[in-house]
Amino acid sequence: MSETQDSYTLEYAQQLDKQDSLASYREEFYIKEGGIYFDGNSLGLLSKRAEKSLLDLLDSWKEYGIDGWTEGDNPWYYLSESLGNQMAPLVGADANEVIVSGSTTVNLHQLVATFYKPDGKRTKILADELNFPSDIYALKSQLQLKGYDPSTHLVQVKSNDGHTLKEEDIVEAMTDDIALIVLPSVLYRSGQVLDMEMLTKEAHKRNILIGFDLCHSIGSIPHELSAWDVDFAFWCNYKHLNGGPGGTGGLYVNKRHFGTTPGIAGWFSSRKDKQFDMEHDLTAAEDVGAYQIGTPNIFSMAPIIGAISMFNEVGIEKIRAKSLKLTNYLMELLKHELAGHGFKTRNPMEEKRRGGHIYLEHPEAARVCKALKAEGVIPDFRSPNGIRLAPVALYNTFEDVWKMVQILKDIMEEKKYKKFENKRGVVA
């Protein structure tokens, strides 16, 4: 986007909105009047379609009772598979490689329990030091279950700057004692996109299985998991996919691995036609369904039915294109309007390396976030001094971006943030 005098005006932002082919989707969402929501990378907003699909499934319980498992527009017994089919294009997978089930951490436990098979010298798991804590907790737990000490058997690639990772450092850490690799697709703080294709190729050259946490990338950037030959992936559906708080997660298993016995078997790991035979020997599903565990949480899946329909209409490429325009515009305005106020941009500048949010650091970040909220702007604070801002393609506008920057500029110039304690809330 060219830096001209006009690009810093409200009129310019409004002109960009008039040219936006996705503008009509904003009306699909419940947006607080006068508010600006920039926290869709933590929890996406409720859409009218998601609300309707939740109410529809509630009605199916009312109408059918237990027959809701096989009756109605969205029979519960097949809902995990149905949503997996619809979600597969977002991750570049075959329909039978994706299932909506569990949660991020439960699915990670399942996948590591399935694919972490220490053998001989290969006993270690490779991760990184910038990953979301829940993933690291799960990996340490799985190592302990196998009798290994996480302090020696969890290898975490270091960051040179505390914000990003170098792919070459990750490749260098793929030594012959590594049995499994688990990495984020997009780093939750800085928004850096890792080169999943290259990392997968390098892992496979060394006969190491590799999987990715897609929590901060699904619904925001395109993926080609099957073409890249990624072994497995897992994610939540409540951030960019707008599936609702605590919404059911998703997982992908490359069809090459179909038939691998699930590490954590359960009721819904079964082949559908055998499940109610009640045999004590599991006949596992012959596709990704084998990696489900328990009974699906129907009402936590219900909003995804409506939410995913918009992604299928628009296509992830268009969403990505607008997302990049929004974050480019945001960074341009911040550079112009907030120079001298102590903000440091820590996300990658290059488009191909940047996800759907930007990451700022400021010594008064917690106070600044509280001041923004007091002015009707919802950001995301990350301890100790980080501010994440996520203008979401389906419901944020360029005018939102312009207004937010003006509000932030006023907060800094008038020192309004000093009214607040520089300390995070219970939930940040």
Binding-site positions for pyridoxal 5'-phosphate read: 104-105, 132-135, 213, 216, 238, 267, 295
Residues in the chain: 428
Q: Give the distance from CA 85 to its chain's centroid.
A: 18
Handedness of CA 333, 335, 336, 340 (dihedral sign): positive
Q: Which one, of 338, 383, 336, 379, lies nearest residue 358 by Cα?
A: 379
Give the number of C-alpha atoms closer than 13 A to the C-alpha of residue 242, restricted to the C-beta side.
28
For 364, the token pair is: 């008064």
Contact by Cβ (8 Å): 241, 309? no
- Tell the residue number behind the tokens 């996480």, with chain if given: 150
* DSSP, res 423: S
Asked if 321 and 21 count as a contact pair (C-beta separation under 8 A), the reply is no
- Residue list, annotated binding site: 104-105, 132-135, 213, 216, 238, 267, 295
Calculate the alpha carbon distances from 272 to 121, 267, 289 in Å. Answer: 39, 10, 9
Q: Is 285 helix (H, G, I), strand (E, B) or coil?
A: coil
Strands 36-37 and 232-235: unpaired
In whole angstroms, give the CA distance from residue 219 to residue 215: 9
- For 181-202, letters b (16+ CB in 10 Å) and e give bbbbbbbbbbbbbbebeebbeb
Cα–Cα distance, 411 to 398 (Å, whole number): 20
Instruction: Give every CB contact of residue 143 below 8 A, 6+ residues apart in sequence.
Output: 125, 149, 150, 153, 154
